[in-house]
Structure 1
């Protein structure tokens, strides 16, 4: 039961992140990317600290160390993605970020010699192909923005991998609080270094950042951390990769984006990827088992 609750939380996280694309687009009209990152992580750590203040007394040294590492990977991923977006197209930025889904199982293999699940790996590659259909404008040109975004994918992959590893022994909430706090501190350092201390107070901009802070950061990362206690890192990465699909859905609903054949193909491929990863083709294995039993009789 916990497994299914965890996977449901990951799906909700992907849906929230998908909707975040729209609110990020709106907030960029009022704030710089560095300001948005600092604000959203600050909102996250303030809300979590206020709601779970009693738990803060139970923070262990190991939680601080592990939360620090996760926070560095998290902010580094967003920073590289933001800088990369200045030199490449949004579609390539979204696609290359999603490459983390195929990096995660290889991190587990090379770092800990963990066997790669062939069904999850197949699902990961299918998910990447699906995301390519959803977001990528097919060009062969590679620039510095693409390389920075690919580095961002590695940072996200390590954040997902180590979340799954650390959450087995740590309180998921406390791990998230420390992670948010570290990302917020790094965010404000970047804002100060870039001399961006002048903020907009337009209502639309503030509401957009509040959505990103409350839902896309606080709620989503809480759900991700808790959920990864009950599922593998590769399966988590595959489910989280559906944010590209949900981003498309919200763009169609809220921004009146037109549905294309490529979008439909991409959505189907992502769905198949999740089914393969989730069921491990158990239907076919059961069918083969029944046929073998029948033949033996």
Structure 2
């Protein structure tokens, strides 16, 4: 099992399956809980489960490292956890899963703009194609219908941009911290704000013991443990063992998993899903052409 954990392709597959299933789990959880409750529970409970490792790790960190840990946690472990359920109140789990594949596009863009990572022209063409694919999805899909709003699809795009910043910070600033300690630390940091949000959301006052509530709680439990805590540990390890761009190619598989779950749940799949998804994947393929990015001098 130890050798499998070190295998980048095994890690990629497991992350794709867990994160690809997150969108349908969010959809099922939204039948009972609010987006704020879902996000707060995901982060708060994950932090509680990992505090035993995370708090001692935090105490050993310098102020400089702690700053980057807090920042990485905000962009990768806190803010997106609220953006996705907010978005899925109006867009389908399939569409959310396809749009989430934009992460490598933002990794390339932000890596060049903020971290001085040199890229080839073919990669920039890939980024443009990826953004065109996302734009067509947002404009022509269900997110543009009268009963929905383009704004909610944009929330998914914003979440993918956050994931890209998180990946770059981990690789450039937190490379030497073991993945288990790192993921435990970031969840421990954002655990307290999450529980404050959970209390303010009225979760404890409004909780009703019923079959639908317990079913939704079960979906949320799977989402929290597998789709948040475990998957994030594996993702951090994958970034450290490879690169942010390679780790973000999990988005090749993630949309497929999300769409399959959506179809099984009776969601509508339009031609624009296919067109937009293919354009994004073409963009990701072109972005991955560069094997040896160099720092600008």
TM-score range, shorter chain: 0.7 to 0.9
The correspondence for 1:237, drawn from 224, 233, 248, is 248
The correspondence for 1:176, drawn from 183, 187, 207, is 183
Distance in 2 between residues matched to 1:20 and 1:277, nearest whole Å = 25
| Contact kept in structure 2, 1:101 and 1:241, CA below 8 Å | no
The correspondence for 2:107, drawn from 101, 104, 111, is 104
Deviation at 1:169, TM superposition (A): 2.0
Distance in 1 between residues matched to 2:268 and 2:9, nearest whole Å = 30
Distance in 2 between residues matched to 1:78 and 1:54, nearest whole Å = 21
Distance in 1 between residues matched to 2:79 and 2:198, nearest whole Å = 14
- Counterparts of 1:83-122 in structure 2, within 5 Å, are 83-86=86-89, 89-90=91-92, 96-117=99-120
- 1:218 maps to 2:218: no
Structure 2 SS opposite 1:114 = coil
| Contact kept in structure 1, 2:123 and 2:289, CA below 8 Å | no
Deviation at 1:215, TM superposition (A): 0.4
Distance in 2 between residues matched to 1:234 and 1:161, nearest whole Å = 9
The correspondence for 1:155, drawn from 143, 152, 162, is 162
Q: How many residues align?
A: 278
Which range moves more in the overlay, 62-71 or 145-154? 145-154
- Counterparts of 1:37-52 in structure 2, within 5 Å, are 37-49=39-51, 52=53
The structure with the largest alpha-carbon Rg is 1
- 1:185 maps to 2:192: yes
2:15 matched to which residue of 1? 13
Structure 2 SS opposite 1:89 = coil
| Contact kept in structure 1, 2:126 and 2:282, CA below 8 Å | yes
The correspondence for 1:32, drawn from 28, 31, 34, is 34
The correspondence for 1:77, drawn from 71, 77, 80, is 80
List runs of 5+ in structure 2 lacking aligned partners.
292-297
Deviation at 1:272, TM superposition (A): 6.0
- 1:227 maps to 2:234: no
List runs of 5+ in structure 1 lacking aligned partners.
282-297
Distance in 2 between residues matched to 1:84 and 1:271, nearest whole Å = 22
Task: Using structure 1 for the length normalisation, give the TM-score.
Answer: 0.73
Deviation string 1:74-131 (CA, Å, 9 cap, x unpaired) is 3222334444555x53466555554333121121111122111556556656666777
The correspondence for 2:207, drawn from 176, 186, 199, is 199
Task: Using structure 2 for the length normalisation, give the TM-score.
Answer: 0.73
- Aligned in 2, Cα 1:27/1:57: closer, same or farther, shift over 3 Å? closer
Which range moves more in the overlay, 117-126 or 238-247? 117-126
Structure 1 SS opposite 2:176 = coil
Distance in 1 between residues matched to 2:165 and 2:120, nearest whole Å = 18
Distance in 2 between residues matched to 1:121 and 1:99, nearest whole Å = 14
Distance in 1 between residues matched to 2:6 and 2:283, nearest whole Å = 17
Deviation at 1:227, TM superposition (A): 0.5
| Contact kept in structure 2, 1:13 and 1:224, CA below 8 Å | yes
Distance in 1 between residues matched to 2:217 and 2:5, nearest whole Å = 36
